[in-house]
Amino acid sequence: MSEPQLLSAWAGHWTGDGTGVTVILPPPGTVGSGEVRGGAPALREFELLDPVRLVDRVDAVVLSGGSAYGLAAGDGVMRLLRERGLGLPTPAGVVPIVVGLSLFDAAVVNPPPYAEAGRSAAEAALSGEPFTAGRVGAGTGATTGKWRGELVPSGLGVARGQAGAASVVAVIAVNAWGDVIGPGAEPVTGVTPAPPPFPSANTTIGVVLTDAKLGKKDCNLLAQSAHTGYARALDPAHTSYDGDAVVALATGEVEADLEHLRMVTAHVVAEAIRSASAPA
């Protein structure tokens, strides 16, 4: 299905056998930050998103399956961007700032060439191919409900909201240990069954994009509000078995009230999570 326009960013997928890669290429000058709250993250260049770090730009965000193996997808994206002269200018040439987030799926058994997959996803983004949601890209092998010893098919969800003149789009790959719950739903109750032999095969990862004018600290606050959306739509969220993480990107086109933007972000992220598990 077609999804809401991703503001002025380019986005594309590579979809393989039970795994995939989703790449988001924001326009030059995009400011970004992020936050991780799960206990088992697989991340690339995430530390530089801290508001106290020097670099505030982000040239690409790569969501992938394959756990730590999937982080290699960022290498392919980085090489492509360098070939095109896109990245942080340095005396030795451009250095693309490529942030990576991976979730655990069945591809860990036999990882595909993720660097090539990342490049293919970035090429798909730049080609203008329609961006879709569901069991594609990073959401291809995603599942939920594993706290019950089940594997409920999930995927990649996308949702959009408005905060005054500013737009907010959330792209979330939902691979949670817990369950997806609807608005107003009661938390899951009852006795938790014995955990599976390897309970950390999870992680929900995503990106929030806005066209608002925000600084790096503001983007960090936006990422925090995105995690509020996680807590509303996942039960439980942010467990020791999940590597839950979010990157927030701001392209700086319109003025917006930060707190209004944060409120809308929490709603939009929860909606994206729920849409990832909705029937096709």
Residue 99 belongs to domain with CATH number: 3.60.70.12
* CA–CA separation, 224 and 215 (whole Å): 14
pLDDT 10s digits, 45-77:
999 999 999 999 999 999 999 999 999 999 999
Total tally of structural domains belonging to the chain: 1
Residue 182 lies in a domain: yes
Range(s) of the domain holding residue 76: 10-276
Residue 163 lies in a domain: yes
pLDDT 10s digits, 187-196:
655 555 655 5
Residue 4 lies in a domain: no
Residue 59 lies in a domain: yes
> Treating both helix axes as pointing N-terminal to C-terminal, what angle do 258-276 and 216-233 enclose, rounded to 10 degrees?
40
Residue 5 lies in a domain: no
pLDDT 10s digits, 119-128:
999 999 999 8
Residue 169 lies in a domain: yes
Helix H, strand E, coil C: the string for 224-242 is HHHHHHHHHHEECCCCCCC
* CA–CA separation, 20 and 64 (whole Å): 6
Task: State phi, psi for 144 to the nearest 5 degrees.
Answer: -135, 180
Can you give the pTM of this predicted structure? 0.94
Residue 78 lies in a domain: yes
Percent over 90 (pLDDT), the chain: 85
Q: Return all residues near 107 (Cβ < 8 A) that are at least 6 apart.
A: 16, 17, 18, 19, 65, 66, 69, 70, 141
pLDDT at 278 over 80: no
Which three-class secondary structure state does DSSP give residue 27?
coil
Residue 265 lies in a domain: yes
